Structure 1
Amino acid sequence: MTSIDFTQENRLPLSAVFFLIIVSMKNATKQLWPVLLVIFVSKDDFKLFWKIIIALLVILLFGVIRGVLMYRNFTYAVKGDELIVKKGVLKKTTLSIPLHKIQNISNRQGFWQQILDITTLSVDTAGSTKSEMEIYLDIKTSDAFKEFILHSKKESIATQTNESESETAETHEPAQVLKTYFYDTRQLMLAAISRNHLRGLSIMLLLFFSAFNQLGESLQKQMLEYTWAYIPKTASLIYWLTVIVFILIISMVLNFVHTCLKYYNLNVNLYDNRVTYKAGLIKNIQQVIHLDKIQVIVQTANVFEKMLNTSSLRVHQFLNLGEKAQKEVAFFLPGFLQSRQLTENIYPEMTTEEFSEVHSKKNFFRRQLYFYAGIPTAILTGLAFFDIRSLYLIVPVLAIAATAAWFRYRKSRAEIGNRYVQVYAGVFGDKISTLKVSNIQSVKLRQSIFQERTQTASVVISTRWASLNIPFLEEQTAREVVDYLLFRLEFEN
């Protein structure tokens, strides 16, 4: 623990000066790049080399002056029940934030901050959709200051609600970690391998063909002539398949590197009232998710993750920052081996919950089949007027559509308990959304004309994060689900 007295005005660490200089230079470059571009391309007696040198010196001088002034004028302290920050360059500003209005405190550490061993402490309040203030501290001081703010906030709220002095005068002790989750080398590799490479392949193929179309006709012709000079036209299919496989490999490598950099040294700590998340190599991100503000926990597994027996987990926290201001804070764990275990540790009562299961009716399969098969079939039929060979694709398209519709129908169900609801969905992958009944904002019965004829209905559960749909239940079952959830919601609140 640090020995800094946070009730007194404190300055930023000395290493923050260099980061403030870098930030000032970066901002100056963003603001002045049009002017610099005009100067560089203008024709005069100055050589380009000297223009660049002078521009760099001006930006450096501006960054040093502004960074030093920002450092000298920046102080922070917790006085009473307020967080007070003084900052400014030429004009000084004092920010005073009541502790009870602080909604979230998170850490962010970029590349330069990791070199300088500092981190950005961001404070979100009720009244702003973005961070109200950012404080650059070393890691130990940042962690200690965060704990001090949370403890002071707890004391402030306890005082306002007239709790006993014995409870508010307790000695502050660091919160104990109940459970720790992390990525070892094997799990990091699994997370990188199990990413959605098909999406990356689609993007890269689109970029490849877009770049090819941007070439002039003569250049395209030369490239094709050069290609067919070495590859016989009878092997053109093999050639294009080789190109696609090559692009897929590049996509997999890029996804692999991106995942390793983003989730390197991932660490998730579970406390009695919050979850902390930390990950990243070049850009280190730290987040705090309060358990009482978690809206939905979504567990997904794509085809690759199912093959590797892993899944991804996304925890959504929704902050109410005022009458119209709202903000979502979430962290994502790809290819996580302990997704189910973490969900049950966040919601421990769920392990003893008794759930009633409801399934979608077969009408849902027919509707999905019409959707998946109808649109592609109509498009292929229209293309047949230009090329009759497009009709050959109808049979495989119908087979894929029927398979997708069947999988979606079989996986569409929900488990409803006294305190929790789990909604299952997916096509070739799986998706499980878990939420507490107390977080439900509204429950609606939705019934289309087609559903009225088949005596089915869908249940729409709305939260602050999103809406979850339980499609095509029996009408009587759907009404019972709505009535039961409304009853439980009223009971919980």
Structure 2
Amino acid sequence: MDSIENFRQFRRQSKKGILVIYLNLIYKALKAFWLLLIIFIQKFSNISETTIFYIYLGVGGLLLFFLIRAYLIFKNFQFKIENQHFILKKGIFKKTSISIPFDRIQNINFKQNIIQQLINVHEVNIETAGSSKAEISIKALSFKAASALKNAVAIDEYTREVENKETIKPLLKVGFKALMKVSLTENHLQSLVLLFAILAGFYQQISEISGGLGKEGILDSYIFKNNAALESSVFLIVGLLLLLTVIAVISSVVRVLLRHFNLRVYLKDNALEIYQGLVTKKSIVLKKDKVQHITISHNPIKKKLGISFITFKQAISGKVKKKQDKIIKIVGCKKEQIVVITDLLFPNENLEAKNKHFSNVYFKFRLYLRSIAFLGVLNVLLVVFQEGNLVFLGNLLLLPMVVFFVELKFKKRYYILNENVIVLNAGSIETHRTYLPFFKVQNIQLKQTILQAKREVVDVVFQTASGKIKIPCIAMVNAQEIYNYTLFKVETSLKSWM
């Protein structure tokens, strides 16, 4: 049985890791050249036997190269624990040595894809605050070894593994039926946009291959003919819209089930332990001290069902893009569970009893101004592309929607000041309420445009280790009070932001 002492000397991961690394190399190769594989299958009957023999020989040589590379990666990947540091050596020709102090480690997460589940090993990811992804990824460890490593690296008692989970009642457990409710109330437009992005990437790759083979004319001609047929049939357009709606809903259901299947959240001292995933199982320890701020969100349907989702934002590198932010989401939370989580993060805080402070009416004016600019550009494009007959109909549909969304967004934009926490509300259809402790703020700025200066309003921008949070268009007097109070709380707080 593995113990902490087993990590005092350099050791390697499980030998099963060779298979995991090998299959991962093959997967990356297939991901890069899958279109060539499709073309090869289509043209297989026209290829001579000699050419096929050399192709098979080349593929066999490539697979052998991947196997040798996987073995060398495994052999040179060694790690140990020494003087409160996690030390790693890796590399084949270019040797790399990494040393991470325990207090810089933000998360130690377990992960299992299909292959890892079949061969009964766990991937251990060690994340730090300054990295956009896992700083260290150990591909194959037994559960006992992974748990021992997690306990060895843990600098606080509450980060240690929950024992006998079957006998401990979880704070939150989302079953299949509850997860279906969550998925059906998701933002389906977001799923549809994501699907379009995937299809656009797929089309671009096909276009590049077709262009390389001198067949781009055939693809363009096919799209033109089908587009002309589509424009001539109202029924086809209506059917396509219905199909897209169904696809969007199915995409949301699949996305939620894959990510949050069998979601369980355990509360232990000052940490949350989260287990979820279908194809890829994940185990995440979310430490209270590492959370920068949280956002509780819902939409009208979720509110009617009494569920919300909570996003936890942790420290990230300044170079990390928004898509890579270290965001952990818990879906299907009920009111009592939200109370437990907010009490854990913000003990003894009455977060709802204070007065609401709304943005200045200039914020509404700015929203209308941007919406009018968008409509103006849209009208110009319709005229340029000789679709002038749609201008009136488009404006007739969009203008009421613009008014509705602007008024709703202005109504939902407010903040609540507490002694230790500022609460910021925002959203339109969805409502997002963010809780930000003052001592987590690293920098605060007052930003003002020329038009804002004439109206004596200003934007307040809080810079945290997880990104920026903005209060738009509030009176200069109120902004100055927030600015001074925030600096006071930051300078006098003895709490650590990490």
Q: Bin the TM-score by the shorter chain.
A: 0.7 to 0.9
Report how far residue 376 of structure 1 moved. 0.6
Q: Partner of 1:365 in structure 2?
A: 364
Say whether the 8 Å CA contact 1:293–1:319 is kept in structure 2: no
2:33 & 2:219 partners in 1: Cα distance?
33
Q: 1:409 to 1:59 in 2, by over 3 A?
A: same
1:139 aligns with 2:143: yes
Decide whether the 8 Å contact of 1:425 with 1:431 is kept in 2: yes
Output aligned runs, 1:320-469, within 5 Å.
Answer: 328-337=325-334, 340-341=338-339, 343-349=341-347, 351-353=349-351, 355-377=354-376, 379-380=378-379, 383=382, 386=386, 387=388, 389-469=390-470
Q: Distance in 1 between matches of 2:389 and 2:305?
A: 42
Larger radius of gyration: 1
Q: Distance between the aligned counterparts of 1:328 and 1:144, measured in 2?
A: 28
Q: Is the 8 A contact 2:131 2:316 kept in 1?
A: no
Contact conserved, 1:125 with 1:132, CA < 8 A, in 2? yes
Asked if the contact 2:108/2:125 (under 8 Å) is kept, the reply is: yes
1:6 maps to 6
Separation in structure 1 between the aligned mates of residue 89 and residue 447 of structure 2, nearest angstrom: 53
Contact 2:132–2:316 (CA<8 Å) still a contact in 1? no
Measure how far apart 1:291 and its partner are. Answer: 1.7
Change (3 A) 1:316 1:257: same
User: Helix, strand or coil: the match of 2:123?
Assistant: strand
Partners of 1:382 and 1:34 in 2: CA distance:
35
- Could you tell me which of 163, 173, 180 is aligned with 1:182? 173
Please list the CA deviations of residues 321-373 of structure 1 after superposition, one character each: whole Å capped at 9, or x if unmatched: 9xx89995221234544573354144242543563431123333233223223
Q: Shift in Å at residue 180 of structure 1?
A: 3.2
Q: Structure 1 residues 294, 2: closer, same or farther in 2, change over 3 A?
A: same
**2:295 is paired with a residue of what secondary structure?**
strand
Counterpart AA for 2:361: K
Structure 2: gaps (5+ residues):
204-216
Tell me which residue corresponds to 1:193.
184
Mapping of 1:108-257 within 5 angstroms?
A: 108-124=111-127, 131-135=134-138, 136-151=140-155, 180-202=171-193, 216-217=220-221, 220-221=224-225, 236-257=233-254
Deviation at 1:318, TM superposition (A): 0.2
SS class of match (1:54) = helix
* Alignment partner, residue 162 of structure 1: none
Per-residue deviation, 1:241 = 1.6
8 Å Cα contact 2:150-2:161 kept in structure 1: no
Q: CA deviation at 1:315?
A: 0.6
Letter in 2 for 1:347: L
Shift of 1:145: 1.3
Give the match for residue 167 of structure 1. Answer: none
CA apart distance, 1:103? 4.1
CA deviation vs aligned residue, 1:218-244 (integer Å, no higher than 9, x gap)? 77547866x89xxxx7xx434422220
What secondary structure, in the 3-state scheme, does the structure 2 residue paired with 1:6 have? helix
Instruction: Specify the alignment match of 2:289 in structure 1.
Output: 292
Distance 1:303 1:204, change over 3 A: farther
The alpha carbon displacement at 1:261 in A equals 1.5
Q: Cα gap change, 1:6/1:403 in structure 2, threshold over 3 Å: closer, same or farther?
A: same
Alignment equivalent of 1:318, drawn from 307, 315, 330: 315
Using the TM superposition, give the Cα deviation of residue 425 of structure 1 relative to its aligned residue in structure 2, in angstroms: 0.7
Partner AA of 2:282 in structure 1: I
Compute the displacement of 1:121 (Å): 1.4
1: CA distance between counterparts of 2:169 and 2:440? 24
Find the residue that maps to 1:270 and give its secondary structure: strand
Alignment of 1:255-266 (within 5 A): 255-266=252-263
- Alpha-carbon distance between aligned partners in 1 of 2:127 and 2:32, rounded to the nearest angstrom: 27
CA distance in 2, matches of 1:11, 1:256: 39
Cα separation, 1, equivalents of 2:35 and 2:361? 61
Return the offset for 1:19.
1.9
Counterpart of 1:163? none
8 Å CA contact 1:306–1:429 kept in 2: the answer is no
| Matches of 1:268 and 1:90, distance apart in 2 | 43
Specify the code of the residue in structure 1 equivalent to 2:174.
Y
2:112–2:280 CA contact under 8 A, matched in 1: yes
Counterpart pick for 2:61 among 55, 58, 61: 58
Instruction: Give the TM-score normalised by structure 2.
Output: 0.77
In structure 1, distance between residues paired with 2:417 and 2:376: 38
* 1:21 aligned residue: 22
Query: How far off is 1:438 after superposition?
Result: 0.4
* CA deviation profile, 1:108-141 (whole Å, cap 9, x unmatched): 3222112212122123457766544332202232
Alignment TM-score, normalising by the size of structure 1: 0.78
Query: Identity percentage over the alignment?
Result: 22
Q: How far apart, CA to CA, are the structure 2 residues paired with 1:355 and 1:485?
A: 17
Q: 1:238 to 1:105 in 2, by over 3 A?
A: same
Does structure 1 conserve the Cα–Cα contact (< 8 Å) formed by 2:313 and 2:328? yes
CA contact (8 A) 1:191 1:336 kept: no
The one-letter code matched in structure 2 to 1:143 is: S
SS where residue 441 of structure 1 aligns?
strand
> What secondary structure, in the 3-state scheme, does the structure 1 residue paired with 2:266 have?
strand
Shifted more, 134-143 versus 361-370: the winner is: 361-370
Q: Answer whether contact 1:289 1:317 (CA < 8 A) is retained.
A: no
Secondary structure of the residue that 1:314 maps to in structure 2? strand
Deviation of 1:476 after TM superposition, in Å, equals 2.7
Does structure 1 conserve the Cα–Cα contact (< 8 Å) formed by 2:192 and 2:251?
no
1:140-162 Cα deviation digits (max 9, x unpaired) = 321221012114xx5xxxxxxxx
- What value does the CA root-mean-square deviation take over the aligned residues? 4.3
Q: CA deviation at 1:398?
A: 2.2
Q: What number of residue pairs does the alignment pair up?
A: 465
CA distance 1:312–1:51, shift in 2 (3 Å): farther
The structure-2 alpha-carbon separation of the partners of 1:272 and 1:53, relative to structure 1 and needing over 3 Å to count, comes to same
Contact 1:415 1:422 in 2 (8 A): yes
Gaps of 5+ in 1: 155-169
Deviation at 1:314, TM superposition (A): 1.3
Question: 1:277 is matched with which residue?
Answer: 274
